């Protein structure tokens, strides 16, 4: 599969961003709105979604709040209904919503702990992607971006330089699963560009500051959204089945 980076291409269309009421999702919604997209702002909490949309109103972006809990089949079905009432195609899907889980030593991890994280980080993107496949396939150049993590990379976590002194057992394994899912979708749907990103700089050990990591990151959420927007705005000749950060390709 092609792993070359390409320059973002501005193009109007419709985009759905999950978990978009704050952090990376909010910055992605803001930037896509500024590029002329109608943005469906997915938010598990509808009120927080409305507040986020209000914060974007001054930029003149076309924002539609979509109550969306990616861990709920019923919520995803309702989100599809809302989006489907406004457009017959979806150009961009950003599966951004995520759950961090707890810092649990592998020896103390339980199936329940893993299930709660996987329900959002793995099953969530599958629920949303599969529900919106008909709208994606109706678009001329559909793109799906999976927001993964550098610690979901075997290359990174098995490397000699990886020394994170915390146990994110559920989170890291869920993102590794998401990476594989991305590749398999890309292979199954050659007409849709499926790409995974990590919102950081793996080579420099930097990651974006968000609520999920108590804002300990060295990059802003806007900087972290760089690879999301880059892959969300690919032209028709852009790559599929890749994993990148804001500096370039990342090893699986």
The residues that are catalytic are 171, 175
Instruction: Tell me the Cα Rg of the chain.
Output: 17
42: nearest Cα among 70, 9, 4, 81: 70
């Amino acid at each position: 599969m092609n792993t070359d980076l390409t320059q973002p291409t501005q193009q109007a269309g419709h985009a759905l961003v999950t978990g978009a009421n704050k952090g990376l999702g909010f910055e992605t919604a803001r930037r896509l709105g500024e590029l002329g997209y109608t943005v469906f702002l997915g938010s598990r909490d509808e009120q927080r979604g409305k507040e986020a949309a209000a914060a974007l109103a001054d930029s003149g972006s076309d924002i539609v709040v979509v109550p969306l809990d990616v861990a709920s089949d019923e919520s995803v079905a309702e989100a599809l209904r809302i989006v489907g009432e406004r457009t017959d195609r979806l150009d961009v899907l950003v599966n951004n919503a995520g759950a961090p889980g707890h810092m649990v030593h592998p020896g103390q991890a339980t199936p329940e702990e893993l299930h709660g994280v996987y329900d959002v980080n793995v099953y969530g993107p599958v629920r949303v992607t599969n529900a919106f496949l008909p709208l994606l396939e109706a678009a001329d150049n559909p793109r799906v971006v999976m927001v993964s993590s550098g610690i979901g990379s075997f290359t990174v976590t098995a490397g000699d330089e990886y020394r994170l002194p915390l146990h994110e057992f559920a989170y890291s394994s869920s993102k590794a699963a998401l990476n594989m899912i991305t590749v398999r979708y890309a292979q199954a749907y050659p007409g849709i560009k499926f790409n995974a990103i990590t919102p950081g700089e793996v080579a420099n050990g930097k990651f974006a500051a968000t609520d999920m990591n108590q804002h300990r990151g060295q990059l802003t959420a806007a900087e972290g959204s760089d690879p999301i927007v880059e892959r969300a705005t690919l032209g028709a000749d852009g790559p599929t089945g890749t994993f990148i950060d804001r500096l370039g390709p990342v090893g699986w």
